[in-house]
């Protein structure tokens, strides 16, 4: 006898939705990485053409950008400091970061990767 095992439709839908969401998340992350890389390329070009940065200084800039980005991603409170310096020292009128939203997102990423979130 040729018996067919039927998966409950709700389980199929949940698995399908989970797969679609995972694909969307992966594609979104890739697009974000591309956008960040494009912005970094433009920043390096501007630093070279407008401010005379050579390869060594541009590489140092990219290294600092990576370090600062990691700190801002890992420590949501770091955005308060960034916002304060940009406003008080440089006079930029950027919108402040939503630290609660960033902290929630950071905690979710740490949980997803099985890492412990550092409390400060």
Whether residues 17 and 51 share a domain: the answer is yes
Whether residues 111 and 62 share a domain: the answer is no
Contacts of 74 (CB under 8 A, 6+ apart): 106, 118
Whether residues 84 and 110 share a domain: the answer is yes
Q: How many domains does the chain have?
A: 2
Whether residues 49 and 102 share a domain: the answer is no
pLDDT of residue 106 exceeding 70: no
Contacts of 67 (CB under 8 A, 6+ apart): none
The answer to whether residue 1 sits within a structural domain is: no
Whether residues 86 and 70 share a domain: the answer is no
pLDDT in tens, 72-103: 888 878 888 899 999 999 999 999 888 776 66
Position 120 scores a pLDDT of 39
Mean of pLDDT over the chain: 83
Any idea of the CA torsion for 119, 114, 24, 21, to the nearest 10 degrees?
Answer: -110
Confidence bin at 43 (pLDDT 50/70/90): very high
């Amino acid at each position: 006898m040729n018996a067919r095992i039927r998966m409950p439709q709700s389980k199929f839908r949940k698995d399908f939705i989970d797969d679609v969401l995972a694909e969307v998340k992966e594609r979104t992350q890739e697009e974000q990485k591309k956008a960040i890389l494009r912005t970094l390329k433009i920043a390096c070009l501007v630093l070279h053409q407008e401010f005379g940065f050579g390869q060594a200084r541009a590489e140092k800039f990219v290294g600092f950008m990576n370090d600062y980005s990691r700190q801002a991603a890992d420590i949501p409170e770091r955005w308060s400091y960034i916002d304060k310096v940009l406003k008080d020292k440089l006079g930029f009128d950027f919108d402040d970061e939503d630290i609660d939203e960033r902290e929630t997102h950071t905690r979710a990423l740490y949980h997803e990767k099985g890492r412990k979130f550092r409390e400060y």
